[in-house]
Chain A
């Protein structure tokens, strides 16, 4: 009973301690900048393909589902476009896309840092006098804070492209879709998605790094840390989504 309460608190305390080390003053900015650019490439640019592909198909599927299940002679013809836009802007491109990225990027971060831990590369940094937590984790956090809002924006665009692809296939007319996408458009929904994505980016980068950095043991533990990081990132993203949606709506 006590361990069920204290273990999460202990883990949270260790997470906060690690973040304290991460946000210390960098020793050599030039090296951090180099890492930051490398991480943007590895974590962000390399994820563009999967984001575009998933968003395109989900945009298309949402459009079909709305047309098949919602549209009726009693509903205006723009309903399909309107609901597709709301789903993509409000939830899919920010929250669901970040859940997907928690799987792809989060496991990548946890396993990379975890492997560095078990192969003593982190010890090597510590012995050199480098703040290993800051050097390894801060560039990842900054890179994801930069790239995830960009990926979310790409996801919105790709989702709409998927919906248009379906409209050109003849399920609904492009004019009806365009009208629906523009109907009662609230620009704040785009900003809301982007603001939410900053929080999700921080969760993905910091929680995954925490699980990787605190690995003890060998390859089995690295695998477990990778799984734990994805599970915890997903849960935290879903929790954060509830609060952020309530605050920002």
Chain B
């Protein structure tokens, strides 16, 4: 479980995150939603340590990440996996080498064991036949699946996904969502996902926080989204006429 307590982040005199308090539970897909520029990527970057919060606490199963020294952070980071918006695969490495990379760096396995584990991960994301290809030779959806395979190679306890559906067609997005959700349950990970994809919200949002202008505006789950009377949330989620009609019909 990851617990965020009174988290603030400012850039010079601009407050980007204001008093965020939430819990992200294990075995669940925890979504952070909000408009572009609302602060969700900053929150994600604070959680993984790419940005330092101005104040507040981030507790990984009770361990305060903000107050950890460099070595403690490095050790904790080996329990994290991350899927980036751009997949962030290493261009100079093949698909198999990309998945093997965390194992090469941090595991004490033999070469055969590392290859076997990497192939298991690729198999889990249905990419066994692409192991010799390079990131530039595969589609965006396949790149995201390789990123998922790389993220789970070391059996992480915490999985972070920064807009994993960005740039993908709706069908591929659903495949990626389903994969992330299934892996979360299978590995009992604490998964945190930034998104503004409404299919993700309604499909895999076990827990959802809605951020507006740096404030935590709403918290709930996918079953509560449609019936919520929070105007900012409904305006954001049911932005189009079609979705508003669908909501009225549902309610």
A residues with CB within 8 A of B: 27-28, 30-31, 38, 115-116, 119-121, 123-124, 126-130
CB distance A123 to B88 under 8 Å? yes
7 chain-A/chain-B pairs, Cβ below 8 angstroms: A30-B104, A38-B92, A120-B84, A123-B50, A123-B88, A127-B48, A128-B106
Which chain A positions have C-beta within 8 A of B76? 129
Main secondary structure of the interface of A (DSSP, over half): helix
**CB <8 Å contact, A121 and B91:** yes
Instruction: Using A28-B105, A121-B91 as known contacts, say yes or no to A129 and B50 having CB atoms under 8 A apart.
Output: no
Contacts of B86 in A (CB 8 A): 119-120
Q: Which residues of A contact B50 (CB under 8 A)?
A: 123, 126-127
Contact with A along B85-123 (1 / 0, CB 8 A): 110111110000000011011100000000000000000
Closest to B98 in A: A124
Interface status of B82 (Cβ within 8 A of chain A): yes
User: Is chain B's binding surface mostly helix, strand, loop or mixed?
Assistant: mixed
Instruction: Report the bound CA distance from A30 to B78 in whole Å.
Output: 19
Chain A CB within 8 A of B69 CB: no
Q: Chain B: which residue is nearest A127 at the CB level? A: B82
Asked if B80 is at the interface (CB within 8 A of a chain A CB), the reply is: yes
Q: Does B230 contact A (CB under 8 A)?
A: no
B102: chain A residues within 8 A (beta carbon): 128
Q: Say how far A18's CB is from chain B's closest CB, in angstroms.
A: 16
Taking A119-B86, A119-B88 as contacts, is the C-beta distance between A127 and B77 under 8 angstroms?
yes
Are the CB atoms of A121 and B105 closer together than 8 Å? no
Q: Give 5 closest A-B pairs by Cβ, nearest first.
A: A129-B77, A120-B88, A124-B88, A129-B74, A120-B84
- Known: A121-B89, A127-B48; 9 extra A-B contacts, CB below 8 A, are A28-B106, A121-B88, A123-B50, A123-B84, A124-B82, A128-B102, A129-B74, A129-B75, A130-B105
Given contacts A31-B104, A31-B105, A129-B106, contact A124 B84 (CB under 8 A): yes
- CB neighbours (8 Å) of A129 from chain B are 73-78, 106
A130 and B73 alpha carbons, distance in the complex (Å): 11
Q: Which residues of A contact B48 (CB under 8 A)?
A: 127
Q: Which of B36-94 contact A (CB under 8 A)?
A: 48-50, 73-78, 80, 82, 84-86, 88-92
Name the distance in Å between A121's Cβ and chain B's nearest Cβ.
Answer: 5
Chain A residue numbers with a CB within 8 Å of B80 are 127-128
Contacting residues, chain B, for A128 (C-beta < 8 A): 77-78, 80, 101-102, 105-106
Chain B residues with Cβ below 8 Å from A121 are: 88-91
In the bound complex, CA of A120 to CA of B162 (Å): 11
Which of B50, B88, B92 has the most chain A CB within a 10 Å cutoff? B88
Instruction: Give the residues in chain A near B85, CB-CB below 8 Å.
Output: 120
